[in-house]
Structure 1
Amino acid sequence: MSTVQTPKMAVGGYTILMPPGWDRIPLNSKSETQDAIKGIVDHAVKYLDPATPKEKVTEARLELHGRLNRAVADARRRNGVDVYLPVEPIHGFIAPASFLVSKVSPGLAAQASPSEIMSHLTEGFGPSEDITLDEVPGVRCQRSVPANPKEKDSVPSRQVNYVVPVPDSGDVSEWLIVSFTTLTPDGTPQEFLEILTELFDAVMTTFRWSAA
């Protein structure tokens, strides 16, 4: 595993150890975001058959570039700080999975308790269990998300969320949500889902806060 350190958040940042074959797209800087997307696209086309016609390579680049930009736009709508994606195939294919790190300020009344804020943030996230991230208590939630009938290419997915308050956030309540999502089209082996979920949980054991 290699250490990945994000840009600092307003009151602190974090470090995390990612497995080989995953890359990060930072979301706080447009130039850094586009540089990361270009790097992922350049890396991905290396796995195409050398005999692939140039026009097909160009089509593949444009299609992947478009998908990554759509993913970034969605992540920013969710207050994303970083997106992590698999960029190298495992057993011949790239896992349909991603990690999203978001920082949110719920904006609830000042008198709201941490437990009330937690309940608000995790509403609809599914069953939860207590966890800690680098000595900060929070919760882990897991749910199955059905396909969206309004979207042509939508498929079911599994989502795991870690939700914790950002330490030392002062008068402003700030929370970190780390979301893992993997697509689960019909026929997805259960053991494959469990392997990916266990990988995410293992990555989260390496999470550490860093000073602002």
Structure 2
Amino acid sequence: MPVDEGGAVVAAPVTGYRLILPEDWAHVPLREGTEDAVRGILDEAFGRIPADSPPDSVGPFKRELERRLRGVVEQVRESGALDLYLPVRSVGDVNIGASVVVSETLLPRRDEQAPPVEPTDVAVQLLSRDRATDTGTGTGTDTAAEVDLSSGELDGALAVRREHVAAADPGRGAELASRRVEYVVAVPGDPGRWFTAAFSTVGGGDPRDELADALVEWFDAVMATLRWRRA
């Protein structure tokens, strides 16, 4: 392992992450390999169509499925995200009523000569900003009266967790309100670099129903598996 000038062991730089998700969740990388991943999801979905299905219904079904999937992937890709995860086998279809989006944020320095902002300071800023939205002084679009905020650690790194209900936005393809949970995690050894994992679900049609509650608990368990990949 690398050591510093004083001979102390220095952790290798973080080069990526690992999350453990069930096999029925597909991974779509958004920087490269996107088309191969999308094609694989579609091929698997099409392969589950019964052989005796009427041809006049299979064609429209395939086209609509592909249109919806590619639309979701493109929308997330345009946001600059790194990875998209979708449940694809739960109901024999590509269920885009739930998703996990992973992205990375690099915080710019106002003064290149100034020391980088400490992760704890950034966490305080995030908490203060979201509390302002929670009390009605912000401009958020949450439909819930409160935003659930907490902080802790994931794989030794500071993490801020935010949970809220977002209003429906038909103009952006969100016909239903959704339950959202976001983890913002400081990347170890790299001040100003933050890892974000955002989960969204419409539940069974109500973002506060039992299904949504269960899926939020599931996502919290998934985030507990976060591990950093190092050089």
TM-score range, shorter chain: 0.7 to 0.9
Q: 1-side partners of 2:90 and 2:31: how far apart? A: 28
What residue is the counterpart of 1:82 in the other structure? 83
What residue is the counterpart of 2:213 in the other structure? 194
Query: Does 2:18 match 1:22?
Result: no
Call closer, same or farther: CA 1:152–1:180 in 2, change over 3 Å. closer
| Aligned alpha-carbon RMSD (Å) | 2.9
What residue is the counterpart of 1:205 in the other structure? 224
Unmatched 5+ stretches in structure 1:
1-9
The equivalent position to 1:146 in structure 2, one of 153, 159, 167, is 167
What residue is the counterpart of 1:56 in the other structure? 57
Q: 2-side partners of 1:56 and 1:108: how far apart? A: 56
Call closer, same or farther: CA 1:107–1:76 in 2, change over 3 Å. farther
What is the CA distance between 1:191 and its match in structure 2?
1.3
Q: 1-side partners of 2:78 and 2:38: how far apart? A: 18
User: TM-score, normalising length from structure 2?
Assistant: 0.74
What residue is the counterpart of 2:99 in the other structure? 98
Unmatched 5+ stretches in structure 2:
1-12, 131-139
What is the CA distance between 1:136 and its match in structure 2?
0.5
Larger CA Rg, structure 1 vs 2: 2
Q: 2-side partners of 1:34 and 1:104: how far apart? A: 24
Percent identity between matched residues is 32
What residue is the counterpart of 2:47 in the other structure? 46
Counterpart of 2:85, as a letter, is Y
State the SS of the aligned residue for 1:18: coil
What residue is the counterpart of 2:110 in the other structure? 109
Call closer, same or farther: CA 1:200–1:64 in 2, change over 3 Å. same
User: TM-score, normalising length from structure 1?
Assistant: 0.80
Q: 1-side partners of 2:208 and 2:164: how far apart? A: 17
Call closer, same or farther: CA 1:98–1:151 in 2, change over 3 Å. closer
Number of residues paired by the alignment? Answer: 199
Counterpart of 2:188, as a letter, is P
Counterpart of 1:196, as a letter, is L
Question: Which structure dedicates a bigger proportion of its chain to strand?
Answer: 1
Q: 1-side partners of 2:109 and 2:71: how far apart? A: 30
Relative to structure 2, which stretch is displaced further, 90-99 or 155-164? 90-99
Equivalent runs, 1:122-133 vs 2, <5 Å: 123=130, 124=140, 126-133=147-154
Q: 2-side partners of 1:15 and 1:79: how far apart? A: 19
Call closer, same or farther: CA 1:76–1:151 in 2, change over 3 Å. closer
What is the CA distance between 1:190 and its match in structure 2?
1.6
Deviation string, structure 1 residues 109-160 (Cα, Å, up to 9, x no partner): 2554434534359745833111322110111110000112545762100000
Query: Does 2:197 match 1:178?
Result: yes
What is the CA distance between 1:78 and its match in structure 2?
2.6
